[in-house]
Amino acid sequence: MTPVQKAKRLGASGVHIATVLAFTLFTAFPFYWMLITTFKQTSDLMKRENNPFLFNQPPTLEHLRVLFTDTLYGRWLWNTAWVGVIVVIITLLLAVPAGYALARLTGRWGEQLGIGIFLTYLVPPTLLFIPLSRVIADLGLQDSLWSLVLVYPSFTIPFCTWLLMGFFKAIPPDLEEAAMIDGCSRLGAFVKVVIPISVAGILTVVIFTFTLVTQEFVYALTFITPASQYTVSVGVPTFLVHGDVYFWGSLMAGCFIASVPIAILYNFFVDRFIAGFTVGAVK
């Protein structure tokens, strides 16, 4: 290898490393900002002459104490996780067979039905929360977490069905036909052949659904009044923002604790998550 080629290779490697480092710092900075704000003293946060990226005064646990003792943050975490798990299960039970059925439905009806289902996901929540609140009141579910369990699948299932439909279309039907020739029923071929191949799409549905439940605000605020039934997305801003007074340390602590599990889940399954969203885009 000539010196010029070595220089070009080193230059390309340097550019690659610098690009990866820049993106890493860009994506990790919000977590660093939340973490350092969590342990900064209030006086350290308020002084403009202080360096906002470093501890100018000794760290403190006061913001965490306020978060866990002066609010119901632990209960909000449990409520969010409980609703998220149930909504994920409901979404999988309905979206997986629906997506598979639409993917195997021949003719133009399958595609049109898939587009129609996806379009329902595009309806803004601000147009629906008032009529849905009437439905929730008529069902006697006001101020109950079951109201969120009932409503959230109405916008997770359409998108996840459309997502899985594209994923199932990328699986050759010949695999199922071969399994059926070997003695499997249609259901048996679906469970034993299609589902294992579709793990990436199913993980994408799980991550998307749980993330949406965690960050949803409008319905949770409209349907639930007691603080003990709040989710994290409603409880944190409601109790840690008093007029124009922001408890920044506790706010950042609450956001950091709630976002870390989702970030870890994304990082563990990022390859499968990307595959689930991009499958079928390139043949």
**pLDDT for the residue 65:** 92
**pLDDT for the residue 147:** 92
**pLDDT for the residue 274:** 60
pTM of the model: 0.82
Say how far apart CA 171 and CA 176 lie, in whole Å: 9
Q: What is the pLDDT of residues 233-282, one digit of tens each?
A: 999 988 988 877 888 899 999 989 988 888 887 777 666 556 555 554 44
Token representation of residue 35: 């973490």
Is 105 within 8 Å of 227 (Cβ atoms)? no
Say how far apart CA 99 and CA 113 lie, in whole Å: 10
Q: What is the DSSP string of 137-173?
A: HHTT-TTSHHHHHHHTHHHHHHHHHHHHHHHHHTS-H
Say how far apart CA 194 and CA 172 lie, in whole Å: 10
At the topology level, CATH places domain 71-278 in MetI-like fold (1.10.3720)
Q: What is the pLDDT of residues 144-177, one digit of tens each?
A: 999 999 999 988 888 888 888 878 877 788 887 7
Q: Which residues in the chain land under pLDDT 70?
A: 1, 4-5, 106-111, 114, 118, 269-283
Q: Which residue bears the tokens 């632990």?
A: 74
What are the structural domain ranges in the chain? 17-60, 71-278
